[in-house]
Chain A
């Protein structure tokens, strides 16, 4: 009997009965995907009053009853996947023995297995197989729906009962597989939530070497040469997150890759990075004890300001220490101090979050687009870090210098090269930037 026809099974019950009564069970369709509903309708030609009809199902103890016509039940076929699953309807008559009828239906399914929380950048496979196993499938249709770039793949390699979609995962989404099993269209999906990579390269090392260039600095003239500076150690310029070009491009610090196959095929992601904060503070050699004079024969900055009657009489050692602390981690030196440029950078990195971790989830449909996103994110962080560390309110009053109880005085005088002498008065204060 063809499967696609509604099936009817006849039972002849009660030998010796004067007439053959008939019990028929019909299913709303010949088969369903596991979890879908089927409606079963039982009918009889027997004239004896029906007390109830009990529907029972192969593979489960569950039964359903109906006491009034039409004797019908809608059943969610969710307990097994099986070809030719038998459903039996038992009529309980008032005066005569029970009579039964059956119908066979196909309940099929796709089992879809694979990690639901794969690590970004990891290569994983999603495995689909027929249930029951061994069914012949001519083609498997895969799709991945996500917010970046959807992917589709049709596996027609063979008439196998299984299919594998494998590739590097970069973005969350939904993977769906479809196939026709025993003429029943089946679909299965799985929600994928990507786990971010943490630790290792996704942590940005942050360091700063204090007073790192003994020969740095120009004579402290009236034009504003700075006493000290914090800067990138390698390039000696004002960069925080490196490697970075002077135009705010971090392409040397990240490796971008395109997924070559699988559910996230075509998507670009940040494969790895070597970002770091590797700074140094430099203190002007002309400000230090024993530093060179601004021009031959002149008194050096330290001695002039330190002299009796000088701007920082007898206190220049503290002034230079305050200067170092201002550039580094405040007074007293402490990690994440708000009184030192480097401490403030450490502090704000804590608030804003790690830059490497921040770009970990960036994805795009093209390499330039991804690089642009990375540059935008890192540029924002870089700008915020500079904004926080360079903000001037904390610079001129506090434990380093300037305020009451501070380590050193911030007011000093500088050398006027045009007249080969120091300026009169203590008019030069700490640099706010």
Chain B
């Protein structure tokens, strides 16, 4: 039996959240559609939504559960912004039933921006679900995502997001990704998203497919995508996975050391810095440090980010160079920012 004290807390807390939801509704009514409204109204609605989510984050499960039915109703609100807010609020903490509700709404909503948000909410929430709930939701999500990808009316951007998100559902999504890849209608259109989708699965076995994709298309942009996908696999790899990733790490190393293309070298450095052994790979560390000063643009940015990610010790020369970049008014802002972050990390 619920205690009197708890009942009061529940009542008060629920009221506060309900008041916030009502306030959010009012603000969203003022804000209307996101593309057309006054900035102040849109900003106020954004802040109200943020506050509601903050409160939902901080409150306990009982209050959140008590509040959830209102949010589920919000998923079918006629205003797109309200539906987006409801989905974000429902998935602010991972909960199987709530993810299911958003998945259901995703199938029936026709607004691309709302659907885009629903997919992002589902993905964020699923990643925090414990097993076995996660497994059940993943199975449903794979079916829903694949179906929507195949719907002729689905907007291309949403279709692309769904393909990459399928990968984010893990190895269980590999058959669905493979089916889409082999589909005459969608295979070529989704070609550029396939490496990211395969990498997002985190399955070391996908490494072979990614390397094959890399070899199949010589365009630099596509190959950079393959390299980033390998980086994603490396990020999630355990020590036991590393042998399976051997061909992929060889590909990265050759792109760094032989530098066939500055962009590919940059992507490879970023990806390789996810490798558990990268910090002790003398050749790669040497290449990063020696090229840092000569490279420019995105390639230098990649070397800077690798220095930060690998947490390499800074020699006097490197430190001085980083200080020069940080303080230079002519260096690209992001170079200055990453240099500052590295120096801060070594304070």
Minimum CB–CB distance from B214 to chain A (whole Å) comes to 14
Q: Which of B134-142, B155-163, B276-284 contacts A (4 or more CB under 8 A)?
A: B155-163
Say yes or no: is B35 at the interface (Cβ < 8 Å to chain A): yes
Instruction: Report yes or no: A215 in contact with B221, Cβ–Cβ below 8 A.
Output: yes
Minimum CB–CB distance from A335 to chain B (whole Å) comes to 16
List B residues 202-250 near A (Cβ within 8 Å): 219, 221-222, 224-225, 228, 232
Say yes or no: is B340 at the interface (Cβ < 8 Å to chain A): yes
Say yes or no: is B319 at the interface (Cβ < 8 Å to chain A): no
List B residues 1-58 near A (Cβ within 8 Å): 33-36, 39, 42-43, 46, 49-50, 53, 57
Tell me the count of chain B residues lying within 8 A, CB to CB, of chain A.
67
Instruction: Report yes or no: B156 in contact with A226, Cβ–Cβ below 8 A.
Output: yes
CB nearest neighbor in A for B305: A274
Minimum CB–CB distance from B8 to chain A (whole Å) comes to 23
Instruction: Report yes or no: A201 in contact with B340, Cβ–Cβ below 8 A.
Output: yes
Q: Which of A73-81, A126-134, A375-383 contacts B (4 or more CB under 8 A)?
A: A375-383
Say yes or no: is B338 at the interface (Cβ < 8 Å to chain A): yes
Instruction: Report yes or no: A225 in contact with B224, Cβ–Cβ below 8 A.
Output: no
Instruction: Report yes or no: B298 in contact with A247, Cβ–Cβ below 8 A.
Output: no
- Tally of A-B residue pairs with Cβ under 8 A? 168
Instruction: Report yes or no: A278 in contact with B334, Cβ–Cβ below 8 A.
Output: yes
| B interface footprint on A220-259 (CB within 8 Å = 1, 0 otherwise) | 0001111001000111111000010111110010010000
Contacts of B46 in A (CB 8 A): 352, 380, 384
| B interface footprint on A260-274 (CB within 8 Å = 1, 0 otherwise) | 000000000001111
Contacts of B81 in A (CB 8 A): 387
Q: Which of A175-183, A312-320, A389-397 contacts B (4 or more CB under 8 A)?
A: A389-397
Contacts of B188 in A (CB 8 A): 218-219
Known A237-B164, A246-B164: A390·B113 in contact at CB below 8 Å: yes
A384 to B44, CA, bound (A): 13
List A residues 387-416 near B (Cβ within 8 Å): 387-388, 390-394
Say yes or no: is B196 at the interface (Cβ < 8 Å to chain A): yes
Instruction: Report yes or no: B334 in contact with A274, Cβ–Cβ below 8 A.
Output: yes
Contact of B224 among A234, A248, A384 (CB under 8 A): A234
A205 to B50, CA, bound (A): 23
Say yes or no: is A433 at the interface (Cβ < 8 Å to chain B): yes
Instruction: Report yes or no: A433 in contact with B156, Cβ–Cβ below 8 A.
Output: yes
Contact of A393 among B35, B43, B228 (CB under 8 A): B35
Say yes or no: is B300 at the interface (Cβ < 8 Å to chain A): no
Q: Which of B64-72, B96-104, B119-127, B251-259 contacts A (4 or more CB under 8 A)?
A: B119-127
| A interface footprint on B111-135 (CB within 8 Å = 1, 0 otherwise) | 0110011001001100100000000
Minimum CB–CB distance from A396 to chain B (whole Å) comes to 12
Minimum CB–CB distance from B267 to chain A (whole Å) comes to 7
CB nearest neighbor in A for B344: A272
Instruction: Report yes or no: A215 in contact with B35, Cβ–Cβ below 8 A.
Output: no
List A residues 70-107 near B (Cβ within 8 Å): none
Interface SS, B side: helix
CB nearest neighbor in B for A431: B156
Known A246-B164, A351-B43: A271·B305 in contact at CB below 8 Å: no
Minimum CB–CB distance from A117 to chain B (whole Å) comes to 21
A interface residue count range (under 10 / 10 to 19 / 20 to 34 / 35 or more) = 35 or more
Contacts of B42 in A (CB 8 A): 351, 388
Known A351-B42, A383-B88: A218·B191 in contact at CB below 8 Å: yes
Minimum CB–CB distance from B141 to chain A (whole Å) comes to 12
A272 to B88, CA, bound (A): 27
Instruction: Report yes or no: B337 in contact with A236, Cβ–Cβ below 8 A.
Output: no
| A interface footprint on B177-216 (CB within 8 Å = 1, 0 otherwise) | 0000000011011011100100010000000000000000
Contacts of B345 in A (CB 8 A): 255, 271-272
Instruction: Report yes or no: B196 in contact with A246, Cβ–Cβ below 8 A.
Output: yes
Contacts of B124 in A (CB 8 A): 247-248, 375, 379
List A residues 305-342 near B (Cβ within 8 Å): none
Contacts of A224 in B (CB 8 A): 152, 156, 189
Contacts of B161 in A (CB 8 A): 238
| A interface footprint on B73-101 (CB within 8 Å = 1, 0 otherwise) | 00000000100100010001000000000
Contacts of B49 in A (CB 8 A): 380
Contact of B189 among A200, A203, A223 (CB under 8 A): A223
Contacts of B39 in A (CB 8 A): 351
A213 to B152, CA, bound (A): 27
Minimum CB–CB distance from B231 to chain A (whole Å) comes to 10
Say yes or no: is B171 at the interface (Cβ < 8 Å to chain A): no
Instruction: Report yes or no: A252 in contact with B309, Cβ–Cβ below 8 A.
Output: yes
Instruction: Report yes or no: B221 in contact with A386, Cβ–Cβ below 8 A.
Output: no
A201 to B341, CA, bound (A): 7
Instruction: Report yes or no: A391 in contact with B189, Cβ–Cβ below 8 A.
Output: no
Instruction: Report yes or no: B112 in contact with A433, Cβ–Cβ below 8 A.
Output: yes
Say yes or no: is A276 at the interface (Cβ < 8 Å to chain B): yes
Minimum CB–CB distance from B174 to chain A (whole Å) comes to 15
CB nearest neighbor in A for B304: A274
Known A248-B124, A383-B120, A391-B35: A215·B160 in contact at CB below 8 Å: no
Contact of A432 among B155, B221, B298 (CB under 8 A): B155
Contacts of A428 in B (CB 8 A): none
Contacts of A394 in B (CB 8 A): 35
Instruction: Report yes or no: B113 in contact with A391, Cβ–Cβ below 8 A.
Output: yes
Instruction: Report yes or no: A386 in contact with B160, Cβ–Cβ below 8 A.
Output: no
Minimum CB–CB distance from B305 to chain A (whole Å) comes to 7
Say yes or no: is B313 at the interface (Cβ < 8 Å to chain A): no
A215 to B222, CA, bound (A): 10
A228 to B308, CA, bound (A): 34
CB nearest neighbor in A for B221: A213
Contacts of B305 in A (CB 8 A): 243, 274
Instruction: Report yes or no: A388 in contact with B156, Cβ–Cβ below 8 A.
Output: no
A432 to B35, CA, bound (A): 12
Contacts of A386 in B (CB 8 A): 113, 116-117
Instruction: Report yes or no: B340 in contact with A380, Cβ–Cβ below 8 A.
Output: no
The 6 closest A-B pairs by CB, nearest first: A391-B35, A205-B333, A433-B157, A272-B341, A215-B219, A272-B344
- 11 inter-chain pairs at a CB distance below 8 angstroms, sorted by A residue, are A223-B186, A225-B156, A237-B196, A246-B165, A255-B345, A271-B345, A352-B43, A376-B53, A380-B88, A391-B35, A432-B112
Q: Which residues of A contact B (CB under 8 A)?
A: 200-201, 203, 205, 207, 213, 215-216, 218-219, 223-226, 229, 233-238, 243, 245-249, 252, 255, 271-274, 276, 278, 282, 351-352, 372-373, 375-377, 379-380, 382-384, 386-388, 390-394, 431-433
